[in-house]
Amino acid sequence: AQSVSQHNHHVILSEAASLELGCNYSYGGTVNLFWYVQYPGQHLQLLLKYFSGDPLVKGIKGFEAEFIKSKFSFNLRKPSVQWSDTAEYFCAVNAYSSASKIIFGSGTRLSIRP
Amino acid sequence: EPEVTQTPSHQVTQMGQEVILRCVPISNHLYFYWYRQILGQKVEFLVSFYNNEISEKSEIFDDQFSVERPDGSNFTLKIRSTKLEDSAMYFCASSADRDGHEQYFGPGTRLTVT
């Protein structure tokens, strides 16, 4: 069965610090990978996605993620966080051969100290 | 930018009552989904729907749940006899393509069963 693990439940950083949120997935076949963000009081928004090609993908708001197939990982990074990045971040996988359901990780709450 | 909308934003109901959660997907999308998130837990897939049929459903989606596209714009989730454990945030999503590469999520309906 497919699963997604996010190892950090809550991360607290100061503004301008660098961010890396870990994500590992479990699935033996071809996958599509996503990071979604949920700002306080708002709905899930797609931050970035990986389908194929360059394993380093860039998303909105300066975020990027690197797909490392050998490690089954898709970590999210940002070189310098801002207070407005305070949100819940969800890693997710969509198995290419499935009927398209998205499997989500448990989420990482990011708090930025101004 | 087109958005998925959901109504109501918050529904309070008594155990055993029927509830209908409504969603208006993005107008040219053909694939529709329901997910839920119990407080403090991960977002879980419930069901996917295409061409007036369920494409896939999870173990959570038992006989108490049903989905319908009653007209050209709405997509509904009905829970026949609500239980306390149905209390959760319910998210609707829609996608233009079969593999659900990019699903657009609505703001969610918070269902509280008392």
pLDDT in tens, chain B (114 residues): 789 999 999 999 999 999 999 999 999 898 999 999 998 888 999 999 988 999 999 999 999 999 999 887 899 999 999 999 999 999 999 988 766 668 889 999 999 999
Residue A60 pLDDT > 70: yes
- Identify the pLDDT of residue B68: 95
**Strands A56-58, A10-14: pairing kind:** unpaired
Token digits of residue A20: 């890396």
Of B98, B100, B107, the CB nearest to A102: B100
How confident is the model at residue B100, as a pLDDT? 62
Reduced to 3 states (helix: H, G, I; strand: E, B; else coil), residue B85 is helix
Q: Which among B55, B95, B99 has the least Cβ separation from residue A96?
A: B99
Q: How high does pLDDT run on average in chain A?
A: 91
**CA atoms of A95 and B22, how far apart (whole Å):** 27
Cβ distance of A99 and B48 shorter than 8 Å:
yes
Cβ contacts of A51 on chain B, cutoff 8 Å? 101
Interfacial A residues in 46-65 facing B (CB < 8 Å): 46, 49, 51
* Residue A44 · residue A34 · CB < 8 Å: no
Between β-strands A73-78 and A87-95, what pairing exists: parallel, antiparallel or unpaired? Answer: unpaired
**How many other C-beta atoms lie within 10 A of the C-beta of residue A12?**
11
CA distance B74 to A19: 40
Which residue in the set A51, A98, A106 is minimally distant from B42, CB to CB? A106
| A110: nearest Cα among A35, A16, A1, A9 | A9
B99/A102 Cβ within 8 A:
no
User: Tokens standing for B42?
Assistant: 């991960």
